[in-house]
A and B are shown apart, each in its own frame.
Chain A
Amino acid sequence: MRAADLIRFARDAATGSPLRTSLLILAMAIGVAAVVVLTALADGARRYVLNQFSAIGSNLVIVLPGRSQTGGFNPGNAITSTPRDLTIDDAQALLRASAVHRVAPLAVGTSEISVGGRLREVMVAGTTAEFIAVRRLSLAQGRFLPPGDWRRGASEAVIGARIRDELFGRDEALGQLVRVGDRRVRIVGVLAATGQGLGMNTDELVIVPVALAQAMFNSNTLFRILVEANSREAIAPAKAQVSEIIRLRHEGEQDVTVITQDAVLATFDRILGTLTVAVAGIAAISLAVAGILVMNVMLVSVTQRTAEIGLLKALGATRTAIRNVFLTEAAMLSLAGALLGFALGHAAAALIRQLYPAFPALPPDWAVFAGVATALATGLAFGVLPARRAALLDPVQSLARR
């Protein structure tokens, strides 16, 4: 049988029973659409998280006190003293590194803020003028902390948008004196609302000069040092330089941990990428179900068309020809279902993007390809058994059926 004739014959057979054909195509389409939509959601989640992390600040290198790596018990560690704290001097020393663009020390503690009888517990962040640039924050009102000597800070504070709303309501906040812990500070700026995001919620933050925060908490240590590298390529050298400077300052001991945003991002990327694959696998189950349905429907079709198969044999069709007729039909139905599902899935993903613009629900190419390929493969694989059954039918008994 010629290929064109085979395709035409299979097409006529498929369109000859429209309900059966359309149900089968629908089942296959739902399977493929499920793969497309679910992977779009999972991959969208991955991108969403990555975007959120990128929003914390780009080219960021973060220095934490203490070694976080567990390298087994080392007697040397037991003898030497506990890790040294990070200090403002450490932070300032980092400015010498060539790959470093900006440095912002960060001292953190909780305290109370009160004004006009209203009192609220807040997180106080002591830092410097660079913080707003390093963290990519923006101001709604006023100004940020002024640049200047890190060890001396005016009694000034910048507050988060939510704190402003809760303490002052509709009143003017700029220029007001508030009490933070046991200090009186003047509010010089209000941060723009960032909404709920990952990391520190800056809407509920009170930012004061780092020297003031350290005095407030009676400590000379830093919680973190935020370092911004010159460029994305400079992140690795910056990390090395930062580690080296701190090591030299801490008498040759590697007692801080330097993490880069890239490392965090890569970890999340990996975790959520795995999740996408897992979701694709779950969706593939629906494809397997659709495949079994193809088999079922094709078996019914063979039974219904027994007389026709007998006739084809009497007219000189070989077993191969009969098998090819049914395989072609299964392949065509699967292909039609896969294409429909492809379109449906993309339409659904587009709808999700329309409804939630922040959520980049785009199916990854590999998932779309795998979905369509799996649909075709299962359709064909599950079409083999019915096709074989048709090919092996006894022509005499088949012809007797009508």
Chain B
Amino acid sequence: MGAPLIELSAIERVFHLGDSRVHALQSIGLCINAGEYVSVMGPSGSGKSTLLNLLGLLDRPDSGRYRLAGRDVTTLSADEQARVRSERIGFVFQSFHLVPRLTAAENIALPMVLAGIPPAQRGERVRQALRDYGLENRADHRPDQLSGGQRQRVAIARATIMQPALVLADEPTGNLDRTTGEEVMRLLEALNGTGVTLIVVTHDGALGARARRQLLMADGTLQHDRERSVDWPGKACALPT
């Protein structure tokens, strides 16, 4: 494994709220290797969601450089970024963000529909995903006929259907009770076990502590970067200064 999956250097993100300028992210330097399990914690307003949007190419930094799998993605056009999102990044949201009029199977297939994958291939992959996440009996149910846990399982199936290298989860258990939240976390961690890089944003300390690497943010800066096990080769990726 040569270059790290994610390389951020001197990232700045400023929001203008009326006359005041809010530094959502200040001189962020970060390096994440493929296969890592990272949690981003911090109080609300600390910039962790902005960081996640930036990592997911939903937002652009005002300055600084973001290299994804060795490729500078900050200079890409909107449509090129969309293609990168389609192929490499899966999103899991706190409020699931399922399309209400589509069935579970159709929601899972949505990224493939957008990517223009032929229907025959889609059907096979959706069936596999439904089996993997225990949703076989729920394939034709609409989101409002599903429980919270089932909805998040559909969302995870959707996030992984394009086999992305990176899964970004924003408070994935925020709308779930403890048991289903635990179940969802186990699914995400199992995903990480297959080599997918997992980044979870949460303000729940217990949840964050499950990650091997924990980032703590406050006021738009990275406060802490803690590794649970020393033998993890995270340090191989030298932090840019």
Shortest B167–chain A CB gap in Å is 12
From the candidates B82, B95, B100, B102, name the one contacting A318 in the complex (CB within 8 A).
B82
Shortest B16–chain A CB gap in Å is 14
Q: Mark A310-328, 1 if CB is under 8 A from B, else 0.
A: 1111111111110000000
Q: Is the CB of B58 within 8 A of A312?
A: no
Whether, in the assembled complex, B111 has its beta carbon less than 8 Å from a beta carbon of chain A, the answer is: yes
Q: Is the CB of A9 within 8 A of B59?
A: no
Whether, in the assembled complex, A192 has its beta carbon less than 8 Å from a beta carbon of chain B, the answer is: no
What number of B residues sit within 8 Å (CB to CB) of A? 29
Which of the 9-residue segments A219-227, A292-300, A394-402 touches chain B? Answer: A394-402
Q: Mark B55-99, 1 if CB is under 8 A from A, else 0.
A: 010110000000000000000001100110111000101010101
Shortest A391–chain B CB gap in Å is 9
Q: Is the CB of A396 within 8 A of B59?
A: yes
| B→A interface (CB under 8 Å) | 53, 56, 58-59, 78-79, 82-83, 85-87, 91, 93, 95, 97, 99-102, 110-111, 113-116, 118-119, 158, 162
Q: Is the CB of A316 within 8 A of B86?
A: yes
Besides the contacts A310-B97, A320-B79, what 20 more A-B pairs have beta carbons closer than 8 Å? A4-B119, A5-B113, A5-B116, A12-B101, A12-B102, A13-B101, A308-B99, A311-B97, A314-B97, A315-B91, A315-B158, A316-B85, A316-B162, A318-B78, A318-B82, A319-B82, A396-B53, A396-B58, A399-B97, A402-B95
Question: A2 CA to B115 CA in the complex, in Å?
Answer: 8
Shortest B140–chain A CB gap in Å is 14
Q: Which residues of B contact A16 (CB under 8 A)?
A: 100-101
Shortest B93–chain A CB gap in Å is 7
- Listed by A's residue number, 13 A-B pairs whose Cβ atoms lie within 8 Å are A5-B119, A311-B99, A312-B114, A313-B82, A315-B86, A315-B110, A316-B82, A316-B162, A317-B114, A318-B83, A399-B58, A399-B97, A402-B97
Question: A395 CA to B86 CA in the complex, in Å?
Answer: 14
Q: Which residues of A contact B56 (CB under 8 A)?
A: 314
Q: Which residues of A contact B101 (CB under 8 A)?
A: 12-13, 15-16
| A→B interface (CB under 8 Å) | 1-2, 4-5, 9, 12-13, 15-16, 307-308, 310-321, 395-396, 399, 402
Shortest B3–chain A CB gap in Å is 23
Shortest A337–chain B CB gap in Å is 21
Q: Which residues of A contact B79 (CB under 8 A)?
A: 318-320
Question: A319 CA to B83 CA in the complex, in Å?
Answer: 11
Q: Is the CB of A315 within 8 A of B58?
A: no
Q: Is the CB of A314 within 8 A of B91?
A: yes
Shortest B191–chain A CB gap in Å is 17
Shortest B15–chain A CB gap in Å is 11
Q: Which residues of B contact A318 (CB under 8 A)?
A: 78-79, 82-83
From the candidates B58, B82, B91, B118, name the one contacting A317 in the complex (CB within 8 A).
B82
Interface centre among A5, A307, A316 (most CB of B within 10 A): A316
Question: A138 CA to B82 CA in the complex, in Å?
Answer: 82
Q: Which residues of B contact A312 (CB under 8 A)?
A: 110, 114
Q: Is the CB of A321 within 8 A of B97?
A: no
Q: Which residues of A contact B85 (CB under 8 A)?
A: 313-316
Q: Is the CB of B58 within 8 A of A395?
A: yes
Shortest B209–chain A CB gap in Å is 27
Q: Which residues of A contact B99 (CB under 8 A)?
A: 308, 311
Q: Which residues of B contact A317 (CB under 8 A)?
A: 82, 86, 114
Interface centre among B58, B59, B93, B119 (most CB of A within 10 A): B58
Q: Which residues of A contact B162 (CB under 8 A)?
A: 316
Interface centre among B78, B97, B102 (most CB of A within 10 A): B97
Shortest A16–chain B CB gap in Å is 4
Question: A396 CA to B55 CA in the complex, in Å?
Answer: 12
From the candidates A5, A13, A316, A396, name the one contacting B83 in the complex (CB within 8 A).
A316
Q: Is the CB of B114 within 8 A of A319?
A: no
Question: A320 CA to B93 CA in the complex, in Å?
Answer: 24
Given contacts A9-B113, A16-B101, contact A319 B87 (CB under 8 A): no
Question: A396 CA to B56 CA in the complex, in Å?
Answer: 10
Given contacts A319-B78, A319-B79, A399-B93, contact A314 B114 (CB under 8 A): no
Q: Which residues of A contact B82 (CB under 8 A)?
A: 313, 316-319, 321
Shortest A396–chain B CB gap in Å is 5
Shortest B53–chain A CB gap in Å is 5
Q: Is the CB of B116 within 8 A of A2?
A: yes
Q: Which residues of B contact A13 (CB under 8 A)?
A: 101
Shortest A240–chain B CB gap in Å is 72
